[in-house]
C-alpha cells in the first residue's frame, strides 16, 4: 500500500471534516487529505441528522458558533458554488410553564448581547399565530428566531468536500484509520487500511467514533456515542410546509416539515451510551404519544417504522464541542463532542480549526473555553438548550 504526504490529514469525512478541509483550502493550505472509512461520505452521523440550524442557544460560545454558521449556510452557493438546502423557516420554542418562559427570557438576553437580531420573545397569541395547529390552551409564551431553520446535511457536506477538492484537497474513501504514529515532535503519520499518510498535523473529526481514534494517539477523549431516533410521517397535509421547527419545552418533542410530511423527534432519556444504530420500532409509539399531546392532528398521521432511522450523537460531558490542540501530542487537533450540533456548527468548526492550524489562534470564539482541558480543570460549560 502506498504512502502519501499531507500538510494536514483530517480523520473523518463527514460534514465537520469536510468543512475543515474547505476552510483550510480557503486559508491557502491546499495539501489536505481527508480520510473517510466508508466508501461514500455521510454514512455516519451526517446522513442521519435532522438538519436543524439554530442560534437560540443558552451559552455565548454556541450562539457565536451559530452566528457564523447560519449566514454561511445562507450564502453557501456564493461561497462554495453548491447548495446547502438552507430554509429559513425558524425555530419556535413553546413554553407552558413559567420556569420555561423565564429560561427563554434569560437565553434571549444572552442572544441579543452576542449580536443576534432576529430572535424575539412571543406572547401566547403570537405562538398560536405561528403554529395554529398546536394545542395552545396551556401556552403562556415562547421564542422564535426567523433565521433559524434547516439545511440538507448531505448537500452541505458534499458541497464543502467537492469545493475543497477543486482547490487541491484529496479524499481517501474506504480507508479506516488503524493507527496514529507519533515521535518526539508529535504526530508523524496516520495509518489506514488503504495506506499511510505522512503528516505533522492530524485532525480528529471522527464523530461518535472519536474516542477510539484519539486513543490511538494516546489521548483520553471524553466522548461517547448515544443513539437518537427520527420518525418521518407518511404524506400529511395538516401542518403547513412552511412551518418552523416547533419545540415543546414541556416534553422535548419537536417536529418540522420533511418532504410531504413531518419529521418527528424526541429525546428518549432511557437511552444509554453505545454504538446502537438500529431503529427500535417501539419508538414510534413513544414519539407519537408525546407528539399528540402538543400536536393533536398527529392522531391522523401514519408512520412506517421501515422508513424511520437512528443515528449517533457524539456526546461530551457538558454537551459542548471539544475543539483545538492536544498539548501532549503536538499536531493532534480535536473537532469532537458536538452533542447533536455538529451539522449546524460545521461551518464555524471548520473556521476555528483552520485558524488554529494555520495561524495558531482564532477570533471567532475564545477557543480556550472549548478545549479538552476544561473537564480536568473544572471549567465545564453548561448548555441546557439541548435537543
Q: What pairs with residue 277 in β-bridges? A: none
DSSP 45-68: TGGG---EE----SSHHHHHHHHH
For residue 337, what is the domain's CATH number? 3.50.50.60
Q: Is residue 381 part of a domain?
A: no
Are 254 and 109 in the same domain?
yes
Residue at which a domain ends, from 311, 335, 351: 311
Strand partners, 268: none
232 and 139 in a common domain? yes
Helix, strand, coil proportions of the chain in percent (round to 5)?
A: 30, 25, 45
Q: How many CB atoms lie within 10 A of CB 243?
A: 19
Contacts of 60 (CB under 8 A, 6+ apart): 110, 113, 114
Q: Is the pLDDT of residue 155 over 90?
A: yes
Phi and psi angles of residue 106, each rounded to the nearest 5 degrees, phi first: -60, -45
| Residue 157: per-residue pLDDT | 98
Q: Is pLDDT of 250 > 80?
A: yes
Structural element, H or E, at residue 25:
helix 15-26
Q: Is there a single domain that holds both residue 304 and residue 337?
A: no
**CB contact set of 277 (below 8 Å; sequence gap of 6+):** 227, 310, 311, 312
Q: Which residue range(s) make up the domain with 359?
A: 3-51+153-222+317-374
- pLDDT > 70 in the chain, percent: 98
251 and 306 inside one domain: yes
- Contacts of range 114-119, beta carbons closer than 8 Å, 24 or more positions apart: 114/60, 114/63, 114/64, 114/67, 115/67, 116/55, 116/63, 116/66, 116/67, 116/145, 118/55, 118/145, 118/146, 118/147, 119/55, 119/56, 119/143, 119/144, 119/145
Q: Please give the mean pLDDT across all residues of the chain.
A: 96
So what's the pLDDT on residue 148? 98
Same domain, residue pair 234 and 307: yes
pLDDT 10s digits, 261-309: 999 999 999 999 999 999 999 999 999 999 999 999 999 999 999 999 9
pTM of model > 0.85: yes
pLDDT of residue 45: 87
Q: If we measure between CA atoms, which residue out of 56, 74, 77 comes closest to residue 65?
A: 56
Determine contact, residues 151/85, Cβ cutoff 8 Å.
yes
Number of domains in the chain: 2
Q: What percent of the chain has pLDDT over 90?
A: 95
Helices 15-26, 153-166: inter-axial angle, 10-degree rounding: 30
pLDDT at residue 59 tops 80: yes
- Please check whether residues 357 and 266 belong to one and the same domain: no
Question: What letters, b where the CB count within 10 A reaches 16 and e where it falls short, cover 105-144?
Answer: eebbeebeebebeebebbebebbbebbebbbbeebebbbb
Of 12, 163, 167, 159, nearest to 86 by C-alpha is 159
Residue 43's pLDDT band, with cuts at 50, 70 and 90, is: confident
Cβ atoms of 218 and 329 within 8 Å: the answer is: yes
Same domain, 294 and 158: no
Q: Is residue 19 in some structural domain? A: yes
**Would you place residue 87 in the very low, low, confident or very high pLDDT band (cuts 50, 70, 90)?**
very high
Residue 13 lies in a domain: yes
Picking from 311, 326, 355, the residue at the C-terminal end of a domain is: 311
Instruction: Give the span between the Cα atoms of 321 and 338, in whole angstroms.
Output: 4
Report yes or no on 162 lying in a domain.
yes
Task: Specify the pLDDT at position 12.
Answer: 98
Cα 278 to the center of its chain, rounded Å: 20
The pLDDT value recorded for residue 383 is: 64
206 and 253, same domain (yes or no)? no
Q: How many CB atoms lie within 10 A of CB 198?
A: 14
Indicate whether 229 and 304 sit together in one domain: yes
Summarised one tens digit per residue, pLDDT across range 186-241 is 999 999 999 999 999 999 999 999 999 999 999 999 999 999 999 999 999 999 99
- Three-state DSSP class for residue 188: strand
What is the per-residue pLDDT for 248? 98
Nearest to 130 by CA among 153, 148, 152, 105: 148
46 pLDDT band (50/70/90 cuts)? confident
| Residue-level length of the chain | 387
pLDDT digits (tens, 9 = 90+) for 331-384: 999 999 999 999 999 999 999 999 999 999 999 999 999 999 999 999 999 766
Q: In this predicted structure, what is the pLDDT of residue 1?
A: 65
Q: Which helix (H) or strand (E) holds 315?
A: strand 309-315
pLDDT value of position 31: 97
Residue 255, domain CATH: 3.30.9.10
Cell of 189: 503519520
User: What confidence category does residue 387 fall into, taking pLDDT thresholds of 50, 70 and 90?
Assistant: low
Residue 382 lies in a domain: no
DSSP string for 220-253: ----EEEEEEEEEBSS--SS-TT--EEEETTT--
Domain end, chosen from 311, 338, 356, is at 311
Amino acid at each position: 500500500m502506498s504512502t502519501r504526504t499531507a500538510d494536514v490529514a483530517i480523520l473523518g469525512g463527514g460534514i465537520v471534516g469536510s468543512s475543515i478541509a474547505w476552510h483550510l483550502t480557503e486559508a491557502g493550505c491546499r495539501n489536505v487529505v481527508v480520510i473517510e472509512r466508508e466508501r461514500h461520505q455521510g454514512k455516519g452521523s451526517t446522513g442521519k441528522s435532522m438538519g436543524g440550524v439554530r442560534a437560540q442557544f443558552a451559552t455565548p460560545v454556541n450562539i457565536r458558533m451559530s452566528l457564523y454558521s447560519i449566514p454561511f449556510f445562507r450564502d453557501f452557493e456564493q461561497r462554495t458554488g453548491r447548495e446547502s438546502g438552507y430554509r429559513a423557516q425558524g425555530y419556535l420554542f413553546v413554553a407552558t410553564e413559567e420556569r420555561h418562559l423565564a429560561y427563554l427570557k434569560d437565553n434571549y438576553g444572552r442572544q441579543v448581547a452576542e449580536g443576534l437580531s432576529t430572535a424575539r420573545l412571543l406572547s401566547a397569541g403570537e405562538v398560536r399565530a405561528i403554529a395554529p395547529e398546536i394545542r395552545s390552551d396551556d401556552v403562556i409564551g415562547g421564542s422564535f428566531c426567523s433565521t433559524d431553520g434547516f439545511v440538507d446535511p448531505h448537500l452541505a457536506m458534499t458541497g464543502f468536500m467537492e469545493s475543497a477538492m477543486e482547490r487541491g484537497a484529496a479524499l481517501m474513501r474506504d480507508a479506516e484509520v488503524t493507527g496514529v504514529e507519533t515521535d518526539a515532535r508529535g504526530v508523524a503519520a496516520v495509518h489506514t487500511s488503504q495506506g499511510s499518510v505522512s503528516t505533522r498535523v492530524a485532525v480528529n473529526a471522527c464523530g461518535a467514533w472519536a474516542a477510539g481514534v484519539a486513543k490511538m494517539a494516546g489521548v483520553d477523549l471524553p466522548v461517547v456515542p448515544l443513539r437518537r431516533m427520527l420518525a418521518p410521517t407518511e404524506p400529511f397535509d395538516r401542518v403547513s410546509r412552511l412551518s418552523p421547527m416547533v419545540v415543546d419545552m414541556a416534553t422535548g418533542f419537536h417536529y418540522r416539515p420533511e418532504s410531504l410530511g413531518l419529521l418527528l423527534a424526541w429525546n428518549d432519556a432511557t437511552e444509554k451510551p453505545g454504538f446502537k444504530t438500529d431503529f427500535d420500532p417501539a419508538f414510534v409509539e413513544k414519539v407519537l404519544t408525546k407528539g399528540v399531546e402538543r400536536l393533536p392532528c398527529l392522531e391522523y398521521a401514519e408512520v412506517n417504522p421501515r422508513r424511520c432511522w437512528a443515528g449517533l450523537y457524539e456526546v461530551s460531558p457538558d454537551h459542548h464541542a471539544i475543539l483545538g490542540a492536544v498539548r501532549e501530542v503536538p499536531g493532534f487537533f480535536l473537532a469532537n463532542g458536538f452533542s447533536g450540533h455538529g451539522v449546524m456548527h460545521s461551518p464555524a468548526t471548520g473556521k476555528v480549526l483552520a485558524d488554529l492550524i494555520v495561524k495558531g489562534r482564532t477570533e471567532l470564539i475564545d477557543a480556550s473555553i472549548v478545549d479538552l482541558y476544561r473537564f480536568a480543570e473544572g471549567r465545564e460549560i453548561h448548555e441546557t438548550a439541548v435537543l
